[in-house]
Amino acid sequence: MSRLDAKKPSLCKSEPLTSERVRTTLSVLKTIVTSCYGPSGRLKQLHNGSGGYVCTTSQSSALLSHLSVTHPILKILTASVQNHVSSFSDCGLFTAILCCNLIENVQRLGLTPTSVIRLNTHLLSLCISYLKSETCGCRIPVDFSSTQILLCLVRSILTSKPACTLTRAETEHISALILRAFLLTIPENAEGHIILGKCLIVPLKGQRVIDSTVLPGILIEMSEVQLMRLLPIKKSAALKVALFCTTLSGDISDTGEGTVVLSYGVSLENAVLDQLLNLGRQLVSDHVDLVLCQKVIHPSLKQFLNMHRVIAIDRIGVTLMEPLTKMTGTQPIGSLGSISPNSYGSVKDVCTAKFGSKHFVHLTPNEATICSLLLCNRNDTAWDELKLTCQTALHVLQLTLKEPWALLGGGCTETHLAAYIRHKTHNNPESILKDDECTQTELQLIAEAFCSALESVVGSLEHDGGEILTDMKYGHLWSVQADSPCLVNWPDLLSQCGCGLYNSREELSWSFLRSTHHPFVPQTCLSHEAVGSVSNLTLDCLTAKLSGLQVAVETANLILDLSYVIEDTN
């Protein structure tokens, strides 16, 4: 078919960041992500004009996946953040806000992109080196023999997601459940390389959050009528399990990995049914106690298995196949032919359970590395947000197991890091510049823009008109409510810093965030006694934060280095 319209030439735009439209679009994106940040972040409702699903969230993963962006620069930024979140789950908003702030701050300087990118890269290396060093004043070790720090880490994630609508008691309950679920996925006798199990989240919407619980093993949802038909198994030894990934319905169009051979004049349906019954006879002769099928089991085969006191459960779905394979040790059977003895697995026990209005078959494992988190919340919206938050928390715990360190949260790491960079660039610029072609003046300008970007992330935590201060000893963040009197001693207004590690009873001096003051050395080498004395710290995942910092700086450098944007308008 011939082209109806002549092909239009591609649009080529030079220096895209000088465009007012691009700056306005970046500013709008920054406003959206900034207003979502922190425990008091504002929720966003996302939906399309033709109706359908409405997403209410303040999380970057849900926000950016539902947000439609068209400009290439915004696509680069959002894609970078989404890639970070897909790998680390946490610190998505931090990454997006820092990236926007860096671009905005550097644009005001009027320096060449080459100098900016080179110095940004040096400052990024300085940050990462410091945060990984033993002298870092905002990094604490995570001891897996104690639950204190782990609970603080999970609690910090839950409290930063207001759309979960949790009370304090509910937050404590869910935090404990998430930690217990995570610990159940760690093998008991693990040595050297650890292969973690899996936590399955089972929905119980419309129930009280406090009714949520964790069980070892897998729950398979069934109707009450189906559950009543299941025969109880009383056996002291482990139960033998066969797991089928093909249909056992007798459907001719789906024979799995096998073939059906027929003689002339034989009914096709009867031949397939005979093969199913032969399969059932082998299962009985092999003393199988439980047959699980991803798809449908033929009623005649079900009846035959029940007559021989074999439990048959079908329609378990593709989602449970991998966890069932791991938990039972089975090899999924994909044909109707003879079954290898190595294909069978086992479970410790099979029982029934009821939670809320739902009925389940509960498969208890021999070794608990698979567990089920029955998650309750008041409505669909709050449950969706809580599920996403629980998945984030579980992933963060996995990352922390690999790298057992955490960063002080609540904005204290950002303000501490900004103070450290200012001091380093002011008192020892030669260690950063080395053989670089950049001047000391350019370093001071870029360093201030970098530190201001970090502090702007911290400023995003305040949504109610309050003030943010930093102390001149530790470089931590302190919040003052909006209606506080002006002329008053700061210790009378300030209770504790953002992370909760220090209180105002110490002899400290404060200054307003982003106010002009002489660079100072924030105290390094965090005291283990100080950390151990506080039971309710706000913490961030070190691995996720480092990645977010790196992605933000590198994405900002990429966008600042763009000279042309070429768009195909056809």
Same domain membership, residue 532 and residue 421: yes
496-500: long-range pairs with CB below 8 Å, 24+ = 497/410, 497/412, 497/471, 498/409, 498/410, 498/411, 498/412, 498/458, 498/461, 498/538, 499/408, 499/409, 499/410, 499/411, 499/412, 499/413, 499/537, 499/538, 499/539, 500/410, 500/534, 500/536, 500/537, 500/538
Tell me what pLDDT residue 271 has.
79
Q: Tell me the average pLDDT across 443-462.
A: 94
Answer whether residue 260 is part of any domain.
no
Is residue 125 scored above 70 in pLDDT? Answer: yes
pLDDT of residue 440: 86
Are 239 and 276 found together in one domain?
A: yes
Closest by Cα among 31, 235, 263, 160 to 539? 160
Query: Which one is predicted more confidently, 338 or 546?
Result: 546
Using DSSP bridges, classify how beta strands 311-313 and 290-293 pair: parallel, antiparallel or unpaired.
parallel
* Mean pLDDT (the chain, rounded): 88
Share of the chain above pLDDT 70, in %: 92
CA–CA dist 18, 12 (Å, integer): 14
Of the pLDDT bands very low, low, confident and very high (cuts 50, 70, 90), residue 189 is confident
pLDDT at 485 > cutoff 60: yes
Q: Are residues 117 and 93 in the same domain?
A: yes
Cβ–Cβ < 8 Å for 89, 26: no
pLDDT tens profile 42-92: 999 988 777 778 889 999 999 999 888 888 899 999 999 999 999 999 999
| Same-domain pairing of 396 and 359 | no
Angstrom distance (rounded) from CA 143 to CA 87: 24
Let me know if residue 259 belongs to a domain: no
Predicted confidence band of residue 244 (pLDDT cuts 50, 70, 90): very high
How far is residue 118's CA from residue 116's CA, in Å, rounded to a whole number? 6
CATH number at residue 281: 3.50.7.10
Average pLDDT over residues 501-513: 83
Q: Is the pLDDT of residue 275 over 60?
A: yes
Would you say the C-alpha torsion 251, 252, 255, 261 has a positive or negative sign?
Answer: positive
Domain assignment present for 6:
no
pLDDT band at 159 (very low <50, low <70, confident <90, very high): very high
pLDDT digits (tens, 9 = 90+) for 260-274: 566 666 677 777 888
Q: Are 543 and 399 in contact (CB under 8 A)?
A: yes
pLDDT at residue 527 in the model: 67
Domain boundary pick from 352, 385, 403: 403
Report yes or no on 52 lying in a domain: yes
Which range has the worst mean pLDDT, 113-117, 250-254, 325-329?
Answer: 250-254
Q: What is the pLDDT of residue 104?
A: 93
**Strands 198-205, 467-471: pairing kind:** unpaired
Question: Which range, of 19-23, 82-86, 429-433, averages the lowest pLDDT?
Answer: 429-433
Give the pLDDT confidence score for residue 511 in this predicted structure.
86
Q: Residues 200, 249: one domain?
A: no
Dihedral of alpha carbons 161, 163, 164, 169, sign: positive
State the residue range of the domain holding 98. Answer: 11-138+408-567
Residue 349 lies in a domain: yes
Q: How many domains does the chain have?
A: 3
What's the pLDDT at 3? 59
Domain boundary among 354, 382, 403: 403
Tokens for 410? 């609540």
Residues 457 and 542 reside in one and the same domain: yes
Q: Does 47 map to a domain?
A: yes
- Return the amino acid letter for 31: T
pLDDT in tens, 22-35: 889 999 999 999 99
Asked whether residue 99 is assigned to any structural domain, the reply reads: yes
Give pLDDT, residue 431. Answer: 76
Could you tell me if 187 and 249 lie in one domain? no
Shared domain for 352 and 424, answered yes or no, is no
Residues 25 and 127 in one domain: yes
pLDDT at 564 over 60: yes
Q: Report d(CA 248, CA 296) in Å as an integer.
A: 6
Same domain, 339 and 317: yes
Q: What are 276-292's pLDDT values in tens digits?
A: 999 999 999 999 999 99
CATH code for the domain in which residue 152 is found: 3.30.260
Q: What is the pLDDT of residues 134-144, one digit of tens each?
A: 999 899 999 88
Q: Residue range 194-207: average pLDDT?
A: 92
Boundary residue ending a domain (403, 424, 448): 403
Q: Which has the closest alpha carbon to 477: 518, 450, 513, 515?
A: 513
Task: Tell me whether residue 5 is in a domain.
Answer: no
Residues 294, 311: one domain? yes
pLDDT score for 540: 96
563 and 431 in a common domain: yes
Segment among 206-220, 395-409, 429-443, 517-531 with least mean pLDDT: 517-531
pTM for the predicted model, two decimal places: 0.91
